[in-house]
Amino acid sequence: MPDTDTAQAQETILNWLEEAKFFGDEDQDVTKRANPRHAWKRPMELLVDDKIFYVYSRDISKDGIGLTCRRHLGEGARVRVRRDSNDSWVPARVAHCTKTVGAFKVGIELTFDF
């Protein structure tokens, strides 16, 4: 997997979160999560085992992103995510993957375990 330093990954996430706060609504159900999520619908790239998959984000918080993906991902799998080639790859871990109509809803935990 490509190398990304922690500062670079954190800066990328903060930029994404600022964009989401500006354009997206905040999740009103704060009892479920430690950090508020903001709607953030963007095409993204997900790197899994040196293969890039094209996914869509649903929402974002400072420690996670909700994605829609056509591929099942195993819980705990280490992945990397970016919006496009202008962004750094951000390390993440699959928290859950749930089948839905024609796709999977994937929750990824943003991590800095290098």
Lowest-pLDDT range, 9-18, 28-37, 92-101? 28-37
Give pLDDT tens digits for 37-92: 899 999 999 999 999 999 999 999 988 999 999 999 999 999 999 999 999 899 99
- Partnered with residue 45 across adjacent β-strands are 54, 82
pLDDT at 114: 46
Topology at the third CATH level for domain 6-24+38-110:
Thrombin, subunit H (2.40.10)
Strands (DSSP E) found in 11-100: 38-39, 43-48, 51-61, 64-69, 78-82, 90-100
Q: Is pLDDT at 33 greater than 70 in this prediction?
A: no
